[in-house]
Amino acid sequence: MKNKSITSRDEDFAQWYTDVVSAAHLASYTSVKGCIAIEPNGYAIWEKMQAILDKKFKELGHVNVQMPLLIPENLLKKESELVEGFAPEVAWVTEGGSKKLEERHCIRPTSETMFCDYYKDHVASYRDLPKLYNQWCNVLRWEKETRPFLRSREFLWQEGHTIHATEEEAKKETDQMMEVYKWFHHEILAIPSITGLKTEKEKFAGAEYTLTNEALMYNGVALQAGTSHYFGQKFSKAYDVKFLNKDNQQEYVYQTSWGTTTRMIGGLIMVHSDDYGLVLPPRIAPVQVIIIPIGTSDEVTNLVANYEYMLKEAGITVNVDYSEKSPGFKFAEAEVNGIPVRIEIGERDLKENKVTFVRRDTREKIVENKDLDVAKYVGDLLETIQKDMYNRAVERRDKLTFTAHNLDEMANILNTQPGFIHADWCGDQDCEVKIKEIKGCKSRCITDEPLIDGKCVCCGKEAKHHVIWGIQY
């Protein structure tokens, strides 16, 4: 039965999204404009994202640190592009301890500044390099229009910051971390994101170049979900971060940063969920299986306990709903919360040795013999769901991927059904600006795929890049 509190996805996508966020208890609006409260169900997803990414970062040699939340204005101003990029959207602390401060401090919109401030006193020679740091924290950007998870004034993220003795090594790091995000999207979130290079116009303020990971939502709107920046020596020159290289010469360090945020929770919803609520890929679901006992006979209770034990032993996250609500209510709750597999164990079914397994993704009910090897069966089922969800997302992405040879074709696509639009581009920012006039369409990334017809989609002149375009959140 359709959840009455959820608007139909096809009817009103934006409303459907906020309905799912609310019905699945992922986040809630607060009295602070543009800031959300992340509720237990939402935060549990973030904790699982953190655990998986943190493990991967550490395997690659990164260590966690924590830099200050506040940045003094004079320090922020040292790198001019960064200031220009972020100054319009920062929040300023001007009073502290009942006094007006001599200098304003902004709340970090990102922490390149504070990392450079740290590096400059902690690096002397090439022997101190590389420094491979990461930080899990909150950041603040004074956005005008906000939407839970996708665009919030305050959000949670990780920001990796590394410095290296050579350009080559730093570029390798930039590539490597983009591969990590790609792996995370494809293998864990079941989101077939695409990766490539940002154009000069769209790159991070102060970066030499930015690699990006772009996901396509169910409605054809793109979501930037993970970027990796190569700074070269831009920041190290601005903040004077030098080291003695192997030739005994002073040299500025080569720097990177890379980050991804709680907006990935929004991405998960917009790629996979449906009119019945949240749908989570098993590998990122905080609870993978819920067992719902129907009745309280010994047979039911014993089998529930047995299944719970077997699944836990197999490393599967399982909850049992022992609450006093009705079975129907429990089914609906498990469904709206996106638990990948639901097991219904009832007295009547058990008389025929039967147990019911329900897939959340397809809502398919599968009746099985109660004596099956439950750990193996559910383990396989979870993997099947993960794979099927990924394949369906690929299918949807491909269905919403188009090619345009000129502006008319592009406008036609954007006005009919937006998606990823492949089109050649001359490299001129004027053409980018002109394209943006069509529904705010921006270059998502430059791919290394071959040119389509060699002509710029906008001006028709000789093309330099094969670019993927789209409307973004």
**Contact footprint for its own copies (CB under 8 A):** 28, 30-32, 35-40, 43-44, 46-47, 63-72, 75, 87-98, 104-105, 107, 114, 117-118, 121-122, 133, 137-138, 140, 142-144, 154, 156
CB of 146 to its own copies, least distance (A): 12
Q: Which is nearer to its own copies, 104 or 405 (CB)?
A: 104
Q: Which is nearer to its own copies, 325 or 376 (CB)?
A: 325
CB of 206 to its own copies, least distance (A): 19
Rounded CA-CA distance 138/108 in Å is 8
Q: Which is nearer to its own copies, 72 or 327 (CB)?
A: 72
In terms of phi and psi (left: phi > 0; alpha: psi -120 to 50; beta: otherwise), the region of 443 is: beta
Q: Which residues contact 61 (CB under 8 A, 6 or more apart)?
A: 132
CB of 334 to its own copies, least distance (A): 17
Q: Which is nearer to its own copies, 81 or 89 (CB)?
A: 89
State the pairing for strand pair 442-447/465-470. Answer: antiparallel
φ/ψ (deg, to 5) at 221: -90, 140
Q: Which is nearer to its own copies, 45 or 421 (CB)?
A: 45
The answer to whether 473 and 150 have CB atoms below 8 angstroms apart is yes
CA separation (Å) from 408 to 395, 403, 415, 461?
26, 12, 10, 16
- What type of residue sits at position 225? A
Q: Which is nearer to its own copies, 154 or 432 (CB)?
A: 154
CB of 87 to its own copies, least distance (A): 7
CB of 257 to its own copies, least distance (A): 16
* Tokens of residue 130, six digits: 């590389």
The answer to whether 267 and 281 have CB atoms below 8 angstroms apart is no
* Tokens of residue 59, six digits: 């395997």
HSE (side-chain half, CA atoms, 13 Å) at 163: 29
Rounded CA-CA distance 284/46 in Å is 9
CB of 27 to its own copies, least distance (A): 9
- What type of residue sits at position 186? H
CB of 139 to its own copies, least distance (A): 10
Q: Which is nearer to its own copies, 134 or 224 (CB)?
A: 134
- What type of residue sits at position 155? F
DSSP state of 198: P
